[in-house]
Chains A and B, each alone.
Chain A
């Protein structure tokens, strides 16, 4: 039944904080089975957009649909299909990794036996089993990202929404996360993630959207957006960056 629906559809999403517009009418259609990169400079509204898409932040206007289910009108169904790893949000970090996984699993209404089995596997694959009873608050940044990903994956969601999954992650962990995500997409899942690391996006994504100043500037498959240039060139041009001329900051040279 959900086959004909896009994995995630955003229509006219808008949000402003204290009169300052953060997101100004975002329309996005994420096809099922795609690996979708949401690009944008700092402060472009990526986190705000994704928060509204998964039900963490109520939009001023517009709506979000997960596989055809309205996130804001029918949150229960939509949220069952969703796995989310927010950025800048704390985990329940005074639990150990294992406890945190158990919590998330049971919270999703899973059978305890299944939680046990999947959590053990995830901890093993993500090389977190050695952490034992260490509380998540004492984890390194990379480990926190990994346990966050494990929590999002545990209940086997159809759509995975990840905010900055590669930020502050060392290359080894990043490669591991990439592998897992690629396998997840190959198995029929859909991934939407935000990033401003062009290299990762270029390597992973089938689709790309560039967000700047609260609106989508460019959208399409990776090939459509990139053309025959590098993604970085396109990005800087679209966003309207500037390059230093060398005149300013002369005092940096001693």
Chain B
């Protein structure tokens, strides 16, 4: 570096993927510094991940361990296919992608797009989930080795690694594309529709799958497995099994399918990456529009919140209500609730026999649903809706300072936030209850289903009020609604899990009532459920508000992103 450099600088040293990986590890390490609890949560999360991975490993290795190769292909195709599907969809629906390395940060550096994509791709591979999946699917290697010797094992190793690359590339490409779609305000409705379509596709597939298993038509199923094996979903995982079963010619073709898919996904990703970097989707400065007419107060209140009094509570609700729609991150959550809230109950109640918990009633009702099963699925929807608020202050980030400076009492703050969120969620829950009841052909169930929904939702609001005050964490200030800090990923998962378990515990009375009270519950369900839910939410806001009063500055520090 030193020395006279009056001549043009030497050829810059090329940047390789290694630099990105090291950068990511360094950023992750620095995130942990001085945050013992984060390290602890990360370790616990990793251990849980590895535990499940080990279980899956033995599951996938079982054909080999048992020595029965009839189901080897089927297991590889279905398990692998589900893995790919999970990598594509779960980031959209639940978890978000780890954006430790935000692409926008690299916009100013003289890096070719190819370098950037391979670098970010390599960095994305360094994560706990990839390690866990790699471990789990290595079970296939055992199976292949038992039936086909070392050559089959070798092909399987290559296949599993390629499959993992496919998963990661797919997850990145899909979330990146969705992120740029959701960023631009014009196409957000299109994005919502698309998500709904994707989700709607899962539903029938699942139902068909469950039905197929029930028929126990193994021939048909192995036919499906063969077909899946020739799609990118199953190709990487089944190549080694093909070798083991004597179809050596299939292996190179399947690996080729995989590689072509990976390249295509990376190309897609790199295109949407570009728009993420230059912020092409920010849609420029918004239209100035006409000058203001009427008072500013009237403008703050959306029409749906027009009935509110023009006071502190009203202002808080109005602002939150506007934010749930205008903030891409929050909007993504609302869409998730709407989509998952509809298709999960339908799925569970149609293919409900898969729910081992309740298999007895399910079978005795000859394939149709039961009040208990419906209550359980409603419980899940209410729980999912409420858990969205687990990091409600994190959505605000440092903007929360305004409320601290104004000295908003904690109880008022929480009550207002719960009210604003409910403006969106309660109508959705009503739709869920009506639609599911009609689809099941049991319109008389609407009452207690709505009751169970509201009760769970209210109990969830109470639980999540506490979680949001005590366990808040900062979200990165990017416009990618799916982004979150690494480390926070595990934290988020643990907190979400905790909140969900607590909510489920609080809501079990609704399921018990459905089981014990019989027909009376059809009439009592709605009033009791609503009373239970509203009471729980108010009590939660009351108690958590007290905690919030004592730790407003601490909460602000937690949700302020470190720069």
Interface residues of A (CB under 8 A from B): 18, 54-58, 75-76, 79-80, 82, 84, 86, 88-96, 98-99, 101-109, 112-113, 115-116, 119-120, 123, 129-135, 138, 151, 250-251, 253-254
Contact = CB atoms under 8 A, between A and B. Distances in A.
A92 B405 contact: no
Nearest to A107: B406
Nearest to A58: B553
B402 A56 contact: no
Contact of B315 (A103, A133, A254): A103
Given A99-B300, A112-B297, A132-B289, 20 more contacts: A54-B405, A56-B404, A57-B557, A58-B554, A89-B398, A90-B398, A92-B402, A95-B319, A98-B296, A102-B295, A102-B296, A112-B310, A113-B295, A116-B297, A120-B292, A123-B296, A130-B288, A133-B290, A138-B285, A253-B6
B407 A76 contact: yes
Contacts of B288: 130-134
24 contacts: A55-B405, A56-B556, A75-B407, A79-B405, A86-B401, A88-B398, A90-B477, A91-B399, A92-B399, A94-B323, A94-B326, A98-B292, A99-B300, A99-B322, A102-B299, A103-B402, A107-B312, A107-B408, A112-B295, A130-B288, A132-B291, A138-B286, A251-B4, A254-B6
B37 to A, nearest CB: 14
A92 B319 contact: yes
Contacts of A109: 311-312
B289 A134 contact: yes
A115 B291 contact: no
Nearest to A98: B296
B41 interface: no
A84 B289 CA distance: 30
Contact of A56 (B286, B312, B401, B477): B401
B553 A57 contact: yes
Interface string B300-323: 100000000011101110110011
Contact of A79 (B323, B401, B406): B406
B5 interface: yes
A113 B404 CA distance: 24
B4 A250 contact: yes
Contacts of A253: 6
Given A91-B402, A93-B399, A130 B291 contact: yes
Contacts of B3: 251
Contacts of A56: 401, 404-405, 553, 556
Nearest to A251: B5
Contacts of B296: 98-99, 101-102, 105, 115-116, 119-120, 123
Interface string B543-556: 00000000001101
A132 B5 contact: no
B563 interface: yes
Interface in B316-363: 316, 318-319, 322-323, 326-327
B478 interface: no
A250 B147 CA distance: 69
Contact of A90 (B291, B319, B322, B397): B397
Nearest to A114: B297
A251 B6 CA distance: 7
A4 B388 CA distance: 50
B470 to A, nearest CB: 16
Secondary structure at the B interface, as helix, strand, loop or mixed, is helix
Contacts of B318: 103
A108 B402 CA distance: 10
A148 to B, nearest CB: 10
Interface in B371-427: 396-399, 401-408
Contacts of A133: 286-290, 299
Nearest to A71: B407
Nearest to A17: B34
Contact of A94 (B290, B327, B405): B327
A129 B295 CA distance: 12
A134 B402 contact: no
Contacts of B298: 116
A117 B117 CA distance: 53
Given A90-B397, A92-B399, A130-B291, A84 B297 contact: no
Nearest to B1: A251
B326 to A, nearest CB: 4
A251 B554 CA distance: 47
A14 B147 CA distance: 70
A151 B402 contact: yes
A251 to B, nearest CB: 5
Contacts of B401: 56, 86, 89
Contact of B292 (A84, A94, A123, A151): A123
Contacts of B300: 95, 98-99, 102-103, 106
Contacts of A134: 285-289
Nearest to B408: A107
A61 to B, nearest CB: 15
Nearest to B556: A56
Contacts of A89: 398-399, 401, 560
B7 to A, nearest CB: 9
A154 B315 CA distance: 15
B311, B399, B406: which has the most chain A beta carbons within 10 Å? B406
A162 to B, nearest CB: 12
Contact of A102 (B291, B297, B327, B477): B297
A123 B299 CA distance: 14
A113 B311 CA distance: 11
Contacts of B560: 89
B404 A55 contact: yes
